[in-house]
Structure 1
Amino acid sequence: MNISRRICKGLIWFWFFTGSCTAAFAQRHHLYNDTSLYRVYGLLQQKEEKVIPILHLGDSHVQAGFFPNAVRDRLQGEFGDAGQGWVFPYNLAGTNGPDDYRWSSFFRWNGDRMVDRNLGQWPGPGGIMISRQQGMSLLTFSGKPVKCLKLWYEGGEGLPEANAGEDHPAAGEAMVYEGEPVMAAKEVKVCMDSVVSGISLRFPSISRFYGAVAENGKPGILYHAIGINGAQFSHYNQFEGKITASQMEILKPALVIISLGTNEAFGGISAVQLRQEIGKMMEVMKSLAPEARFIFTTPPSGMMKKRQVPYKKKGKKRTYYRVSYVKVPQATTLRDAMITLCDENGWAYWDLYEAMKADKRFARAWSGDHVHFNAYGYNLQGQLLAEAVLDSFQQWNKQKSKP
């Protein structure tokens, strides 16, 4: 009798545990409203023939590169690598950026961002630009294998000269093409004869540089990551939506992943204000890219200091502090508002907020400020988001294959 009870109790706990694990796994890997993405999945099936541009838009969680790079690596590993995508000289602007590419210059540049106060002019498609007194200048890009760089800048007459340096003598002379201007910016495409690891550019006259797109000449996914520290939806909507409009115009994304909301939560933005700003952004995007599809990622829970308790260690003069943290209450409100808006419009979303609660690994994913994440945490987010997209794609593929 006792044995039977123990067996029954064990089975109940086993079912409860496996059910909880299954639910948690589904929570982490689930992409909601994914029927809206079927057009993108159709393009992914043509990975050997086409370049599929994806734009990942966000704030500091995106600017650092760890989060979008994890998504990029996973998706490009599955559907092909068409290049590094959007690349900007964050280091020359005096801020942090991805560590898998670098820009260098002999000249000093000034950086301006869309989040800066009293910014009087459009900062470019990336929401950030570098500038200097107009004149001749040099810029060198180095990163993953690249064949073509498409550039956007302002300057005087004449096109830039380009070369791959002494390390790639077989690359030959670069071909330079001038495209249609975007807003106030010139568009120039520089192509080498073969794939190289870097390209040096000599501009006869330049005053502002807005960024570039790196392509390797192969089909597959071209993943653009654009993020600015401190950014909110409202910042991307500045200048009558020209920042977002230029992104749609030059990058022509088939899929846009939007990872914003953290700064709104810490800034006390209301749910009504959030809905309004998302609406403005989407109106611009859909008007210029009606075939594009969207994935929203809900903001993380976020943590803020509750209190600091001073204490001293025995035999030490230094004062130490025990810090306790609490979740940012507005993050839940804005997460719910974002989900409601996505459901109303049929936009896909991945619920990072809930995924964090379902995955114990996030306990060691925070950085010291409990607002940002460490490299492990960002990589974990990227892996989970990519897996959610891949799981959804595979389910669509199975259903499509059924007779």
Structure 2
Amino acid sequence: MRSSKRAALLLTLGVLGIAGSLFAAGPVPKSEPNFYAPTGYFASLAQELRVAAKNGSTVSIVQLGDSHIQAGHTTAPLRASLQASFGDAGRGWIGWYALYGSNSPRDYRVTSSGFGWQRELILKPEGTRPMGLGGYVLSTRPSSRFTIGVTSSDHPFRQMHLVRTASSLPLTAFPLAELRTGRFSTGAYVVDTLSWRSPYTSVTLTGAEENDADEAVYAGCVLLSGKGGVLVHDIGINGAAYRHYALADYVEQLSLLEPQLLILSMGTNDCYSTHFQIADFTDSLEQMLMLLKEILPKTKILLTTPPPSFFRQASTHYVVTGRRRKHRKKVTTMTYRFNENAARVSEEIMHRAELHGVAAFDLFSAMGGQSGINSWIADGLMAGDRVHYSRDGYERQGRLITSALERALTLR
């Protein structure tokens, strides 16, 4: 079944090379009210996917976002579908969220022993350490002895790209790995490559016993299968908005992953305020798009709009209980009001996509917007805070994004 799906998609993509040059620039497809892309926008990406499936090259895709992305559930359907069709190049980005006490995707695990880690987040960078690719930076004492365990049971790997500052020493691995230092570099960061002859699902990284480095600063790692195909990276930070990522130093870090496609999935935190101003959001989005155009000019961009959300407010009252009605019981009631700002942000994202000639998928309207969200709540797909979603809810969102992208690839 997997091979038939792959053959069908490859056959469809093969026709596109002929059709793509026959149309002038304009929005497509007309039959997709939730999706916009200039005609031919995904032609090169479709070609790169065909080549990857045929000769073992790698296509790198990054989905960057907020808490909706950090948990990993939204990106999982895209990874599974594209890798089934074009080859599994590996799990991709491994965020070391657990080392600073945050939530992580469930398909991998990162642990550490030794001296505790200090963190800085892109939400409020202190400027003492260069911000890392994952939207955070972790540091420990250069002289401390520590180990980091990385486990990826669903995606065995033969290679690891480890991101560290140039002033930090490389980490050694068990089982023993071949080490090539500083294969890539951007700003303060370099990427070491660790390779094994056989695939592993778990390795241990260790700092040097005698460490005379100036610092010990690390940003995470990438796991690769050693085969060609598709890498789908998910990078998210709880609470992140466009203004947090729209920094030249951060956008430069994205080049370490060499993305052919960057999916920007944000907007909830931008608009989750009663003092929201659409002009402020537009400025942040424009800044991000201009930086991407300057720093990653060959990368295709797909914007996705934020899913529906609600404002919530707690009200407290007291109920008199007991036979003599002498007891007062405190009762807290939670009320919810639909966040109409999300609709405004979604409309602005779609508008800016057309102005900049990039692709956009209106997840907000594809989910039904204000009227359709009630069915998601009834099906248990939205969390109790009415901002986040259940695992099934995020996976359904991921399937909507995946289907829209795959249709765009076949229509080009």
TM range (shorter): 0.7 to 0.9
Q: Which one of 137, 145, 148 corresponds to residue 129 of structure 1?
A: 137
TM-score normalised per structure 1: 0.82
Query: Structure 1 residue 381 and structure 2 residue 397: aligned?
Result: yes
Query: Structure 1 residue 289 and structure 2 residue 296: aligned?
Result: yes
Aligned to 1:229: 238
CA contact (8 A) 2:166 2:188 kept: no
Aligned to 1:362: 376
Q: Which one of 30, 47, 58 corresponds to residue 42 of structure 1?
A: 47
What secondary structure, in the 3-state scheme, does the structure 2 residue paired with 1:91 have?
helix
Amino acid at match of 1:224: H
Aligned to 2:272: 266
Query: Structure 1 residue 74 and structure 2 residue 77: aligned?
Result: no
Query: Structure 1 residue 184 and structure 2 residue 200: aligned?
Result: no
Q: Which one of 359, 362, 377 corresponds to residue 351 of structure 1?
A: 362
CA contact (8 A) 2:168 2:216 kept: no
Aligned to 1:338: 349
CA contact (8 A) 2:120 2:126 kept: no
Q: Once the 2 structures are TM-superposed, how far is the Cα of residue 270 of structure 1 from its aligned partner?
A: 2.3
1-structure distance, mates of 2:79, 2:317 = 44
CA contact (8 A) 1:93 1:129 kept: no
Quickly say closer, same or farther: Cα 1:158–1:355, change in 2 above 3 A. closer
Root-mean-square deviation over aligned CA pairs: 2.4
Quickly say closer, same or farther: Cα 1:317–1:191, change in 2 above 3 A. farther
What secondary structure, in the 3-state scheme, does the structure 1 residue paired with 2:249 have?
helix
Aligned ranges 1:70-109 → 2 under 5 Å: 70-107=77-114, 108-109=116-117
Q: Once the 2 structures are TM-superposed, how far is the Cα of residue 130 of structure 1 from its aligned partner?
A: 1.4
CA contact (8 A) 2:164 2:191 kept: yes
Q: Once the 2 structures are TM-superposed, how far is the Cα of residue 280 of structure 1 from its aligned partner?
A: 1.7
Q: Once the 2 structures are TM-superposed, how far is the Cα of residue 156 of structure 1 from its aligned partner?
A: 5.4
Deviations 1:132-179 (A, max 9, x none): 111243222111211111111137575432223xxxxxxxx4110012
TM-score normalised per structure 2: 0.80
Deviations 1:89-117 (A, max 9, x none): 11111111111111122122122211136
Q: Once the 2 structures are TM-superposed, how far is the Cα of residue 353 of structure 1 from its aligned partner?
A: 0.9
2-structure distance, mates of 1:336, 1:255 = 22
CA contact (8 A) 2:158 2:225 kept: yes
Aligned to 2:65: 58
CA contact (8 A) 1:37 1:294 kept: no
CA contact (8 A) 2:316 2:330 kept: no
Aligned to 2:11: none
2-structure distance, mates of 1:131, 1:157 = 10
Deviates more, 1:258-267 or 1:355-364: 355-364
1-structure distance, mates of 2:167, 2:352 = 45
Aligned to 1:208: 217
Quickly say closer, same or farther: Cα 1:117–1:51, change in 2 above 3 A. closer
Amino acid at match of 1:265: C
What secondary structure, in the 3-state scheme, does the structure 2 residue paired with 1:194 have?
strand
Deviates more, 1:385-394 or 1:50-59: 385-394
Q: Which one of 120, 123, 130 corresponds to residue 115 of structure 1?
A: 123
Amino acid at match of 1:226: I
Aligned to 2:172: 161
Aligned to 1:147: 158
CA contact (8 A) 1:230 1:263 kept: yes
Deviates more, 1:308-317 or 1:368-377: 308-317
Amino acid at match of 1:70: P
What secondary structure, in the 3-state scheme, does the structure 1 residue paired with 2:142 have?
strand
Higher share in helix: 1
1-structure distance, mates of 2:365, 2:321 = 42
Quickly say closer, same or farther: Cα 1:90–1:290, change in 2 above 3 A. same
CA contact (8 A) 2:36 2:360 kept: yes
2-structure distance, mates of 1:157, 1:247 = 20
Amino acid at match of 2:158: K
Aligned to 1:170: none
What secondary structure, in the 3-state scheme, does the structure 2 residue paired with 1:195 have?
strand
2-structure distance, mates of 1:34, 1:318 = 60
Unaligned stretches of 5+ in structure 2?
1-30
1-structure distance, mates of 2:172, 2:229 = 29
Quickly say closer, same or farther: Cα 1:194–1:270, change in 2 above 3 A. same
Amino acid at match of 1:123: M
Quickly say closer, same or farther: Cα 1:202–1:344, change in 2 above 3 A. same
1-structure distance, mates of 2:148, 2:95 = 11
Q: Once the 2 structures are TM-superposed, how far is the Cα of residue 306 of structure 1 from its aligned partner?
A: 5.3
Quickly say closer, same or farther: Cα 1:65–1:314, change in 2 above 3 A. farther
Q: Once the 2 structures are TM-superposed, how far is the Cα of residue 198 of structure 1 from its aligned partner?
A: 1.5
Query: Structure 1 residue 393 and structure 2 residue 385: aligned?
Result: no
Aligned to 2:335: 324
Quickly say closer, same or farther: Cα 1:308–1:140, change in 2 above 3 A. same
CA contact (8 A) 1:270 1:334 kept: no
What secondary structure, in the 3-state scheme, does the structure 1 residue paired with 2:196 have?
strand
